[in-house]
Amino acid sequence: MAVAVVLLIFIVMMAVSAQRDAEASFLEERLEKKRFCQETAFFIATLYSQGSGTEIEITLGKDVNIVGNRVQVNDVSCTFLADANAVQLQAGQVRARNIADVVVLENA
């Protein structure tokens, strides 16, 4: 009987541990997306503030959607203060230009 109780306690502890690991993994992934989203938004705002004629090429590590003043990375989004074209960017090389105070982004 005592062995059964100890075994039951062990199984419950393993189940709780597995659930906490899954939650931690989910939160880490979400924080990474949020960090990437904010870095992308900062990049767009910085390019905008540099003025018309500025051009930069960068490498994106994830697919990104830009609509209005919002960057979307899967289920995470963040905003920036700039005018930018609406675009779906694939991970990889991206050309970004400030044309007449509108940030234009496109896959290179």
pLDDT digits (tens, 9 = 90+) for 43-77: 999 999 999 999 999 999 999 999 999 999 999 99
Q: Are 30 and 15 in contact (CB under 8 A)?
A: no
Domain residue spans of the chain: 2-107
d(CA 70, CA 67): 5
What pLDDT score was predicted for residue 73? 95
Q: State the Cα–Cα distance between residues 76 and 28, nearest whole angstrom.
A: 13
> What pLDDT was estimated at residue 9?
78
What is the pTM (predicted TM-score) of this model? 0.79
> pLDDT higher for 10 or 48?
48
- Residue 1 pLDDT > 80, yes or no? no
Residue 91 scores a pLDDT above 90: yes
Per-residue model confidence as pLDDT tens digits over 23-48: 888 889 999 999 999 999 999 999 99
How many angstroms separate the CA atoms of 52 and 67, rounded?
20
Q: Is the pLDDT of residue 13 over 90?
A: no
Residue with tokens 């502890």: 13
Residue 54 burial by Cβ neighbours in a 10 Å radius (0-12, 13-18, 19+): middle
